[in-house]
Structure 1
Amino acid sequence: MLTIEWKVFIANRRFLFLSLAPLLLAIIAAFSYYAAASVGLTYVTGYTFLIATANLYSLLFLPFLGVAMGNYLILAEFNWRTMRRPFIEHISRRRFILSKAAIAAIALLLLMAPYFLACMILAGALFGFGQILIEDQTFSTAGGLIRATGAYLWGGFILYIFVILGQILLLRVRNSTVAILGSLLPFYIFVAFGKQLPLPPIRAIFQLSEGILLSSAFDRSLAQAIFSALMAWGVIILTLLFLQIHLFNRQDITPS
């Protein structure tokens, strides 16, 4: 099933363009920062550029792209009137909807990776990497890049929760605009206030990126933070997948 999903939705020119188009943003940001640094308007290192541009993409563009792609994976089946075809071939509803969740995760990773790699290359080429000073801590280049990569990837884990939420909303309302807005709005609310909520599991999820960036070493404290965040994330994802399966099993899948 995943092979079919890959060929239909990922291995095509449209998705290739979608995943590579953000590279233009990286290039524009790189030369804007470089021009500002050249005339003394700001001081930029490779690490600060990488963090700034990764945050820009992760907060302003990637959420919409990820949620919209997750919705498209299901909406296209209704629009193409192919939703019933897998069941004629004796594929269970559970397997079908889980394949949509799985290919959404792969699509999200492919939307994230090229941009981050491009930013890393541009950061090294234009600004260089040396010892990295954050607050009162100094990191090696490798240590800083590992931290930046880990924090960026964890941001993808967080966003995936809302990608699945968007798919659930689409199954419920069959309106892509409502589903996208209904998942992006809570995403931005949780990003803004998640670290202050009186719910330890939620705080663990939204505090981890900062913890990865600022940790002095991979010690017991960081390991516990990662474990707590992964456990909370896993419970949320499993709950959403269960809800998604339950909703899809009860749904009329004839084209509207």
Structure 2
Amino acid sequence: MSASSLFVKFIFFSFLGWVWESIYCTVREKKWADRGFLFGPVCPIYGSCVVAVMILSNIFPEVFDPKQAVWLQFLICMIGSAIAEYSTSWVLEKRFSARWWDYSDMPFNLNGRICLPASIGFGIAGVIIIRYMIPTIVQLESHIPAEAFEVLGLIFAAVFGADFALTEASLSSLLKTIEEYKSEFNIKAEETYTTIARVPENMGKVISEKREEIIENTEERMHRMARYTAKMTGAQKHIFKNIIMFVPRTGKESITKINQLKEYIEKL
């Protein structure tokens, strides 16, 4: 099993994962949902898991034999997918302070990163892949020249690498824009706190004035959202829409405002 053939399979199953995610989210949200971390139609976590199974099947052929007990293969796939999903969610959150999926509203979830129903679903999918898809692919692979995998591998590597680099650059730039938005919000909040703290004896008057200011600030906030949205490229807006939620490192209030900005962009 060559590296090029493994990479081609990685792209193929990443594409199938993207198809599944997009269809599932589209049906659930009743609108088109282009799921995935990257711009291209791939979800790498799916391809990575399937390729890992293929590699392990060569190391432990008796465990991944289609004739092996279904329950054993199911447990391996369920636990393996849970580890992959949790670790991927953790890494992305630490790197970008954002989540691309969240299971907080699902039963038996762990920190919103994984949940039992999803893990069971991935376990069942893993059994289907092990017992039916992989044997079929192995048979088809025997009829394809090794040179074809080499060429396809190079093409896919170039496209995937460019996609990954573009996504990383766009996300880094997006984080800078988000930090600007957070800073502006924090400045406004500090000004409001300072004003109230200076005149405690006129608290009733201050509260009344602040009530009127809040009404005025609603329109100002919409203009501010529009201004920051205008700074974003189409690629950044695409990423922003695919992010489920932003997770605060510090300051829950500013994160709330960022999530409001996300909702504003989704309505465009």
Coarse TM-score class (shorter-chain normalised): under 0.3
Higher RCO, 1 vs 2 (CA within 8 Å, ≥6 residues apart):
1
